[in-house]
Each structure stands twice: as structure tokens, then as C-alpha cells.
Amino acid sequence: MFVWLILVISGVSESVWATALGKSEGLTKLWPDVVFVVGMVISMAGLAYSMREIPTSTAYAVWVGIGAALTVTYAMITKTEPVSLARILLIIGLVACVVGLKIVH
């Protein structure tokens, strides 16, 4: 169970570094660059650790799914991306698939 918690934290960190990379304007702004690097290190380390016990295909899919869902959700909350019913339903579907991968593991 601990390894799954690490994977979730890693997925959250993936969303952090992806968002920071977008705000860094091509790695030209110091603080978004720092957040990007720290987030990436935490994210990759957590993913690598999780792959000790979780198959690569499952770990990677969960990691990407969490990161993508949170990145899009954050963008909609901050109004940098439009909010629509279709987007919300697709994010729910993505999260349901991630949960499904955990259940069938």
C-alpha cells in the first residue's frame, strides 16, 4: 500500500512540474524553473521507487493519469483552460480508469 501512496505523490508532483514548465516561458523564469526541477526530481524518484513493486505499464499509466487529470483541473480552476461538461466527464473517466488499474493490480 505504501508504494501506491508514493506513486500518487509522484503523480501529483508530475502535475506540479508540468504546470511550472508552462509558467517558465521556455525555462526563462527562475522560480517556475526551480519548481519544475524540484517537482521533476520528486516525480521521477517516486515513479522509479514505485516500479520496484508495481509493473511498469500500470505504474506509468497511473502516474500519467494522475498528472494529466490534476494539470487539466488546475488549468480549469485558474481559468487558463475553458471549463466544459465534456472536459469534466473526461477527467472523471480518466480518474476512473486509474482507480480501475489499482483495483485489477
The full DSSP string for the chain is: -HHHHHHHHHHHHHHHHHHHHHHTTTTTSHHHHHHHHHHHHHHHHHHHHHTTTS-HHHHHHHHHHHHHHHHHHHHHHTTSS---HHHHHHHHHHHHHHHHHHHH-
Q: Global pTM?
A: 0.91
Q: What is the per-residue pLDDT across 36-62, written as a single tens digit (0 to 9) for each?
A: 999 999 999 999 999 999 999 999 999
What digits encode the pLDDT tens for the residues 9-37? Answer: 999 999 999 999 999 999 999 999 999 99
Domain boundaries, the chain: 2-104
pLDDT at position 100, please?
92
What was the pLDDT predicted at 25?
95
pLDDT value at residue 102: 85
Q: What is the pLDDT of residue 105?
A: 74
